[in-house]
Amino acid sequence: MAAHCENDPETEHIRQYTPTNEVLLAMTTLAIEATPSPVSVEPSQLALIVIDMQRDFLEPGGFGETLGNDVSLLVRAVKPIAQLLEAFRRQGLLVIHTREGHRPDLSDAPKAKVERGAPSKRIGDHGPMGRILVRGEPGHDIVPALAPIAGEPVIDKPGKGAFYATELGPILQHRGISTLIVCGVTTEVCVHTTVREANDRGYRCIVPSDATASYFPEFHEVALRMVAAQGGIFGWVSDSTRILRAFPAGGAR
C-alpha cells in the first residue's frame, strides 16, 4: 500500500496536507442539490476523491486503449474535475488523488488481471508510455491538467477500489472526514467500487455526473442510477455546477 507524503523521496513535492482551519471555520454548512435529495455537508468533514485520472486510461497508447476503448470519451470529465479541484483548493478542503497501478515486479497484480487484453499489450508490457499500469512509468502519471499540488495525498492502489490495500481509510479517519465527493474514471468500475467500499464503511458519497466518465456511455448512466436508487442506496448523484453553487462566493472562478 502507498500514500505519498513528505518522506517519500519519489514525491518530495507532495507534502502532508492540512486544510487551513481559518478557511474552514469561515465556511458555513454546504447545501448541495442532488438526487434523490439535497445533502447538507460540514466543510471540515468533506473530501474530494479524484479517481485514476491517469495517462494510461485517458491518452492514446495507454492501457485503456489496448483493451479496445475510445479513450476520448473520458476526456469530457477533465474540465468539471478541474473546476472542483479549484474550488476545494481555494477553500482549503481536503483533496485526495488515486492511481491504479502495480509494483514493477507485478507481485501485487493477480494473474487473472494480468491476462486481460491482447498479448504483448497487457499490464507490465511495454507501450508508448512505458510499462502499462506500472508505478513510476509515464503512463501511470495523472494527466497534467489535474496534477496534484503540494500537500495533496496521492494513493497508489492495486485494485479497483480506493480502500483496498491502501492507506485511504486511516487518512480519512485521522482528518475526521464523513462525506466524500467521488469523481474520476471509470464510473462503473473504479468510481463505483470506491463508492460501494465507502458506503460499507459509513461514509456518505456524492457522485458528480459530469465529473465521472466511462468508455461506455450506457454503463455511465446506469451506474449513476444505481448510486441514487432506492432512496440513495449508495449515495447521491449531483453535478459540478450544483456542487460549486453550494460553495461561498469566490469558491471557484
Q: Which residues are known to be catalytic? A: 52, 157, 190
Distances, alpha carbon 195 to alpha carbons 36, 121, 147, 248, in Å: 16, 29, 22, 26
C-alpha cell at 15: 507534502
Rounded to whole angstroms, the maximal C-alpha distance in the chain is 55
Round to whole Å and give the CA distance between 118 and 176: 44
Assess contact for 182 and 77: CB atoms under 8 A. Answer: no
242: nearest Cα among 83, 84, 34: 34
Q: Which residue carries 491482447 as its cell? A: 118
Which residue bears the cell 473546476? 83
